[in-house]
Chains A and B, each alone.
Chain A
Amino acid sequence: MPDDIAEVYRNTYPALVRFLYRKVWDAERAEDLAQEAFARALVHRPENTRGWLFVVAANMARDEARRAAREKRHLILLKSEPDVFHSSPEEDIDAATRTKHVRAALDELTPRDREALLLWDAGMSYDEIAVQTGLARGAIGTTLARARRRLVEAYDAGLEGGQHVARG
């Protein structure tokens, strides 16, 4: 019997938005895509709603990226910042800088490592990540270990580089 989509929606929507945000780097667009994914789930009624949603969302984000590249409409980072409703301009700038560094660090990962990391962060289990990425379940731990290390290293390197530029 298919999952209860309302239940999945309640539990998974924020994680799916987050997952998509780190692919499209636009909060509104991420919401749109997440909602579109759920809308499709309402029609298709997949057996494993959660897994299905992330597959669909990943595909949509990929299409989105291709389209954006095709249109040569590379988003300026500041424009793609999330809508911040309850923070000051100073906090916005901090958030923008942080996001920029995280984004750059994520870009240093291989696509597969990045995907595994984002899926884990979205609350997927090793089994689900294995299904979605095609990795063996036994390789997920190693993949995540590598992804985490790379992310942290790249992030720290980016911060140092930024400070260097600021000083210089």
Chain B
Amino acid sequence: MSHVDEGTLHAYLDGELPPAERTALETHIADCASCRATLTEERALRERASAVLGSARPAERPAPPLEQLRREPKRSPWRVRRSFAWAASIALALGVGYSLRTPRVPAAATPAQPVALVQDRAASTQEEKAPAPPQRRPNDHRAARVADELVARDAARADSAALVATRVRGAAVAPAAPTLADSIRVDASVVSGAAARAERDRSTAPSLFVDGAPARQSMAANWPVISRRVAKTILGEEPVGLPGLETRTFRRDPETNAVVVEQALDSSTVIQIFQRPAGGAYPYDSSEAATASASRARPRANEAEGLFRERGNRLFARFVRGLRVEIKGPLSADSLNRLLEQVAPLP
């Protein structure tokens, strides 16, 4: 064998030389001091080049949830999240005040034209708000937008049914995690009417219906009231809810192991938080998610969501530890999404 060229040496160092050539090269190197020296040089060059290149790298940040990409390819989710906490609290306050003075409007029986309510993409929502105040750019003032939505709620409700659900990816919410808002990501999305009903039929747990939601709501209202202790037994862990809100009742679905926690925003506004053990249907490993970095833990749960997405439907829920959680109440979808983000094990 003649002396080895540097390309072959690099392929060898890269582990990309076919086995036969590799054996031949190693045989030659053993006898050829010149090629051994060259190999040493090329190895140093290769490592140096790798180090040089490696010194110019972006700060590694966690990958956003996979299923969020389709909706928000241009936006880093992290910047959005921070405003959620206070936006949710404002939504709460506004919701309390508003619901006190708003008569309940009967829900539309059948969603004729589902309304798309997507966080930060309120364009379609705006269209529903004929009597609403002047439009704002979606990113301008979240609190103001929430207020708009609350004001426009009845108008939107009368026109159509919005099916909105929320799904949270990935990271576990540690029981007392102070970084709650950072450890979860919410992906609010839209379910079209027919598709959502199909999805709902497949699901044993109630889906989340914001406006015009029919069956499940009344059904849940008839679910037997249980004690918190029983709820814990059914769920296998502490039930979850919105910390700081009065918990009115715990109910159980007579047919499944779902539990609903009813919490009062005020005397006339009740938020229902459906929850059930995520079980095997949702590949969620809270211990992994709690300890691993967000980017590493995430895609595990993404798989299931990716599949749902691919069917053109979405199943929305948030996972809090081992529970799959959905939320429902007489608030706008956006507000509910933000409230859902606050859900944590009850103290």
Contact = CB atoms under 8 A, between A and B. Distances in A.
Interface of A: 4-7, 9-10, 13-14, 17-18, 21-22, 27-28, 30-32, 35-36, 38-39, 42-43, 45, 82-85, 98-99, 102-103, 105-106, 117-118, 120-121, 125-126, 139-145, 147-149, 151-152, 155
Given A85-B59, A125-B16, 7 more contacts: A5-B306, A9-B66, A17-B58, A30-B58, A32-B73, A141-B17, A144-B14
Interface string B1-45: 000011111111010110000000000000000000000001001
Contact of A42 (B53, B59, B66): B66
B56 A102 contact: yes
Contacts of A83: 58-59, 61
Contacts of B58: 17-18, 21, 27, 30-31, 82-83
Contacts of A10: 63, 295-296, 298-300
A98 B67 CA distance: 35
**Which 3 pairs, one residue from A and one from B, show the smallest C-beta to C-beta distance?**
A142-B7, A141-B11, A148-B49
Greatest chain A CB density within 10 A among B5, B59, B67 is at B59
Contact of A31 (B5, B61, B309): B61
Interface residues of B, number: 46
Contacts, number: 140
B202 interface: no
B210 to A, nearest CB: 26
A67 to B, nearest CB: 15
Contact of A98 (B49, B56, B59, B69): B56
A143 B16 CA distance: 13
A84 B73 contact: no
Nearest to B42: A145
Interface of B: 5-12, 14, 16-17, 42, 45-46, 48-50, 52-61, 63-64, 66-67, 69-70, 73-74, 76, 295-296, 298-300, 302-303, 306, 309-310
Contact of B50 (A45, A103, A121): A121
27 contacts: A4-B303, A5-B306, A6-B300, A10-B300, A14-B295, A18-B57, A18-B58, A21-B56, A32-B73, A35-B73, A82-B59, A84-B59, A103-B56, A118-B53, A126-B16, A140-B7, A141-B11, A141-B16, A141-B17, A142-B10, A143-B7, A144-B11, A145-B6, A145-B42, A145-B45, A148-B10, A151-B49
B6 A42 contact: no
B299 A28 contact: no
A117 B10 CA distance: 12
Contacts of B50: 121
Nearest to B45: A148
Given A6-B299, A14-B63, A31-B61, A141 B56 contact: no
Contacts of B302: 6, 9
B5 A142 contact: yes
Nearest to A42: B70
A120 B14 contact: yes
A82 B67 CA distance: 25
